[in-house]
Structure 1
């Protein structure tokens, strides 16, 4: 999982803008409530917590949601329905041009690859004419069916690819005590990709991607929940290419490139690695290319990257 630094200027600005743009829109939706009980419910329990609900930390928003959930009951109650109506995710992700929406949030977050798997591109594309074309999906870290209050909360909207959001994570219950959270946990050093040779025909190219962790329960739960090892084993062709590079060229391959083929280009080691292998070697840039962590771990194991 990629770590999204909540203290970075980009994320702080995105959170601030999310609050400023969304809060007035939500007040308009609250004003449209007709049922007396729902109006009373919002006036006495929701409005005073609205800023926290929109932009509070993961700990803060789940605390508010748990306290409110005691009152709303099952999805058939009027309170549940009113929450779902006001904090309506489908309304938020609509391709409208005249108000703030999920496309604007995705553009501010600027996560080019999936936060959960780092396998797929998740670019946001808005045309020069402001036409909203594509964006990452948003996974609700805290399931929005169980926590309807958090359907639009900044730290509950995790930019992800459709496979991770819809096919893998969909409906799974993650908690801060049982699973890592991308805005809280930086686990880059707590797991490594490796590989082994296998005779089992299930594994293409006779290669298996292995995932090694430090046995942190939250990390292990996340890896199993998102089926990271299984999904990465669909990409042994990338593994094969890196192993072939090691076998085909000497250990001085990159040095030779730097001193002869690329002589005069004044490229840094990081730039050479990116050109040759399509990988960033500093974790702060992992999000910019798919498979960054995977490729770097394998290249280190092969001795290509020191």
Structure 2
């Protein structure tokens, strides 16, 4: 799990979106309709509440650690928010106002992901989610947004920025969090993580010698463990980290064998000296250039498998 930037400074593009969204909500209230359907009285009452004081911004900009309490308090005050029946008109109206707006061009999805300054999925640290604009001006390549608290259970949180987690399609899909309730399973929101130390990757070797690197890879069992009482055990299970990282046993084998080389400090300094006429590199640069391992946790957010590689490398004393 990789922490997400929880900077309290709200991006300007998001403020602009909130302003446009507020105007849309105000039009619904003034017209008393959503499309061809008359606005249900209790839905109107909830929208009027949001338009008063600073309640809409408070909802959309609610901190990650306050999302659940805030949602529960709103559900107590407005009973329509407790509805779960898709056939109920009030539920459909709330869903249309909040959820449908998430997928329109009005919500700056690409800008939202870019603002978080992360290139790989925070749930698995395996897949790129970086937004890339194509030269032909067609739809950009971008990651997905997971609603940490389900839009089925809490549709009114569908646009709250700390409820939106940029992630890959695997983690957001059927094999990941798609059918999982964050409430019931007590998942940890990436916005609430302070660092990457809440889980650790390890490997077990079932043989002492191998005919080739493939045999070495087949002799490795990957383990993913919760550490520091982080509460991430359920995240590990939900995103099947142990299973998916077992598929990277070949990467683990490379690190294991590099560890057996026991590169002396003099070798490192020799390589650094040889490269000096071209580029001046540090020990950190050496780990990246020669070993292919990122050892700075602050950079894990930009490189796939980086946490995995760093944990194994430290255990095998590669650096």
Q: TM-score range by the shorter chain?
A: 0.7 to 0.9
Choose the corresponding residue for 1:110, options 117, 129, 136. Answer: 117
User: Structure 1 CA distance, aligned partners of 2:183 and 2:244?
Assistant: 22
Contact 1:192–1:211 under 8 Å retained in 2? yes
Contact 2:187–2:235 under 8 Å retained in 1? yes
Match of residue 12 from structure 1: 9
User: Structure 2 CA distance, aligned partners of 1:24 and 1:61?
Assistant: 22
Choose the corresponding residue for 1:41, options 31, 42, 45. Answer: 45
Match of residue 119 from structure 1: 126
Pairing 1:180-191 to 2, within 5 Å after superposition: 180-191=188-199
Question: Shift in Å at residue 197 of structure 1?
Answer: 1.6
Residues 108 and 271 (structure 1), Cα distance of their counterparts in 2 relative to 1, 3 Å cut: same
Contact 1:83–1:148 under 8 Å retained in 2? yes
Match of residue 291 from structure 1: 305
User: Structure 1 CA distance, aligned partners of 2:253 and 2:237?
Assistant: 24
Choose the corresponding residue for 1:83, options 71, 74, 94. Answer: 94
Residues 27 and 88 (structure 1), Cα distance of their counterparts in 2 relative to 1, 3 Å cut: farther
Residues 82 and 26 (structure 1), Cα distance of their counterparts in 2 relative to 1, 3 Å cut: farther
Contact 2:43–2:90 under 8 Å retained in 1? no
Match of residue 235 from structure 1: 248
Match of residue 20 from structure 2: 24
Question: Shift in Å at residue 82 of structure 1?
Answer: 1.6
SS across alignment from 1:143: coil
- Superposed CA deviations along residues 231-284 of structure 1, whole A, max 9, x for unmatched, are 111111111111222335634453332233x23321122222222233332211
Match of residue 210 from structure 2: none
Question: Shift in Å at residue 228 of structure 1?
Answer: 1.4
Contact 1:279–1:289 under 8 Å retained in 2? no
Residues 299 and 43 (structure 1), Cα distance of their counterparts in 2 relative to 1, 3 Å cut: closer
User: Structure 1 CA distance, aligned partners of 2:191 and 2:137?
Assistant: 29
Question: Shift in Å at residue 304 of structure 1?
Answer: 1.4
SS across alignment from 1:12: coil
User: Structure 2 CA distance, aligned partners of 1:3 and 1:254?
Assistant: 32
Residues 231 and 298 (structure 1), Cα distance of their counterparts in 2 relative to 1, 3 Å cut: same
Count of aligned residue pairs for this structure pair: 293
Contact 1:22–1:100 under 8 Å retained in 2? no
Show structure 1 runs of 5+ residues with no match: none
Contact 1:52–1:61 under 8 Å retained in 2? no
Residues 101 and 217 (structure 1), Cα distance of their counterparts in 2 relative to 1, 3 Å cut: closer
SS across alignment from 1:188: coil
Contact 2:2–2:193 under 8 Å retained in 1? no
Match of residue 218 from structure 1: 231
TM normalised by structure 1 equals 0.85
Question: Shift in Å at residue 160 of structure 1?
Answer: 0.5
Contact 1:143–1:171 under 8 Å retained in 2? no
Show structure 2 runs of 5+ residues with no match: 29-33, 208-215
